[in-house]
Amino acid sequence: MNEFKILMGKIASTLADFAWGWPLITVLIGGGFYLFVFSRGLPLTGFLMALKLVSGKFHHTDEEKAKGQLSHFKALTNAIAATVGLGNIGGVAVAISSGGPGAVFWMWVAAFLGMNTKFFECTLALMYRGIDYRGEVQGGPMYVIKNALPKKFHWLAYLFAFFGLLGCMAMYNVNQLADYMNSHYSMERSWVGLFSAFLIAYILMGGIRRIAQFTSSIVPFMCVVYVLSCTFILIQNIELIPSILWSIVQEAINPVAISGGTLGWAFKEVMIIGVRRAAFSNEAGIGTAPMAHSNAKTNEPVSEGLVAMLGPLIDTLIICTMTALVILISFPEKSYTQTEGVLLTLAAFEKGIPDWGGHILGVSIILFSVTTMIGMANYNEKCWNFLFKGRWGLGEKTYIIFFSTSIWLGAIFPLETVLNFIDAGLGLMAFPNMAATLILAPKVKDALKLYFQKYVDG
């Protein structure tokens, strides 16, 4: 088994290094900036409309007859369930321990620009929805590519779905859950993986409606609990926040002290780490969120795109930032490099809220891990069905076995191996998704103009 783990670790590292270089950083950051300019600063001009839509203060009269299965709110919580999770608790810790405070700055940049990307990719997902082999309405980059681009580009749809099977596995989430259960309750990692696999398999048998019902009820609650806990720690140390924010900006520009190399090399490494962890956290540009938002019950693709735009704001600019501040406040001596992942955030909570902090975060870890695994399963299944369409005996039951097995493997593999596998999959998914998004951006802009004329300006 150890030789197998070592081999998988080498394969994962090679794939991740191949996927995450300057080409992908340019596509995500450069593409996001282009879409920001192209949309004339949509995150700023469309923010209030997005809040009205997700809160239910504004709705379209014909939504009862619309295609899709979920309300705006449920579609957003289903998407957030796959992003607001252990990527916020443990992923930020990984970014700080490997790239220093400066990595947080690049997470901010990627998230802000990612709001534009989320709008465009999710709007496209509803503009070009398709029907799967079971006759259900589905959407996502693979359907956008097949329905909107010439036939010569259709291979990109299958490439996206193939890499989606790797990038949308829940290995990281169960890995961090196993870390917590093993360190605090001495539970064997393999048993944590086995129990998690059976639990997720049971939930998956209920279909998308059970997934939506579960995540829409629990995600807002656990977000509030986590944010309130972070807020309590930050208020107790409010005088330290300005200096920490300054250190984040300063070490993003001059990260040599953290990375220990030349300025150019260190700058590149910190930027890649920050963008990589931001993509892992909010998934803007990766193409996963469009699969969740495409289930929204609406005939107005732009409205769901506006709702989707809130994802990176909630996920990275708010929750990830609060996590980062809690960690940096708790470890001013920069001893955070001695611990990794969720255990670093756990140590910060235990320092910030003695007696109760560890228990609060422990519950959050368990709940976040389960909801994120469910959200990722939704994405993974869409890719599976697009590729196989129930043929060759590769239907729903086979898929559940496949996904459950990946959960068990995630529990027993080292964190580095798991992160590299997921990073590689997400990174390789981004290329076909961003290509389609940038090519079709003018169609989204036209739809946005008509939408505002109809519902806002008029």
Instruction: Please give the residue range of the domain that contains residue 308.
Output: 2-457
The C-alpha atoms of residue 399 and residue 390 are separated, in whole angstroms, by: 10
Task: Determine contact, residues 370/170, Cβ cutoff 8 Å.
Answer: no
Does residue 34 have a pLDDT over 90?
yes
Which segments of 294-395 does DSSP mark as H helices, in order? 301-308, 310-312, 321-330, 342-352, 357-388
| 233-248 confidence digits (pLDDT tens) | 999 999 999 999 998 9
Query: Helices 72-83 and 301-308, interaxial angle, to 10°?
Result: 40
| Partner residues linked to 138 by β-bridges | 130
Neighbours of 262 (CB within 10 A): 10
Which range, of 55-69, 157-171, 247-261, 383-397, averages the lowest pLDDT? 55-69
Please give the C-alpha separations between residue 141 and each of 71, 127, 275, 379, in angstroms, as whole numbers: 21, 11, 21, 11
Q: How many domains does the chain divide into?
A: 1
pLDDT attached to residue 141: 95
pLDDT score, position 265: 57
Q: Report pLDDT for 233.
A: 94
Range of weakest confidence among 75-79, 129-133, 325-329 = 75-79
Contact between residue 129 and residue 138 where contact means Cβ atoms under 8 Å apart: yes
Average pLDDT of the segment spanning 405-433? 93
pLDDT of residue 458: 54
Average pLDDT over residues 11-37: 90
Residue type (1 letter), 373: M
Helix axes 396-412, 171-185, angle to 10 degrees: 50
pLDDT at 259 over 50: no
CA distance 113 to 107: 10
What angle is formed at CA 61 by the lines to CA 118 and CA 144, rounded to 5 degrees? 30
Q: Evaluate if residue 301 carries a pLDDT over 60.
A: yes
pLDDT at 394 over 80: no
CA separation (Å) from 13 to 232, 259, 281, 327? 38, 19, 19, 27
Of all residues in the chain, the percent with pLDDT exceeding 90 is 34
Least confident of 29-33, 52-56, 328-332, 423-427: 52-56
Of 64 and 301, the structure prediction assigns the larger pLDDT to 301
What is the DSSP code string of 135-172? S-EE-SHHHHHHHHS-GGGTHHHHHHHHHHHHHT--HH
33-37, 171-175, 207-211, 278-282: range with lowest mean pLDDT: 207-211
45 in helix, strand or coil? helix
Tell me the C-alpha to C-alpha distance, in Å, between residue 263 and each of 249, 254, 255, 256, 269.
15, 7, 7, 6, 10
61 is written with which tokens? 């009269």
For the CA atoms of the chain, what is the radius of gyration? 21
Q: Residue 192: which pLDDT band, with cuts at 50, 70 and 90? A: very high
Dihedrals φ, ψ of 137, to 5°? -70, 130
- Coil, strand or helix: which one is 56? coil
pLDDT at 61 exceeding the cut of 60: no
In a 10 Å sphere around its CB, with 0-12 CB exposed, 13-18 middle and 19+ buried, how is residue 57 labelled?
Answer: exposed
Instruction: Tell whether the torsion through CA atoms of 245, 247, 250 and 255 is positive or negative.
Output: negative
**Residues whose CB falls within 8 Å of the CB of residue 46, separated by 6 or more in sequence, listed in order:** 119, 306, 309
Q: What's the average model confidence in pLDDT over 122-134?
A: 88
Residue 288 confidence (pLDDT) above 80: yes
Q: How far apart are CA 263 and CA 298, in angstroms?
A: 49
End-to-end CA distance of the chain: 65
pTM reported for the whole predicted model? 0.86
Q: Can you give the CATH number for the domain in which 260 is found? A: 1.20.1740.10
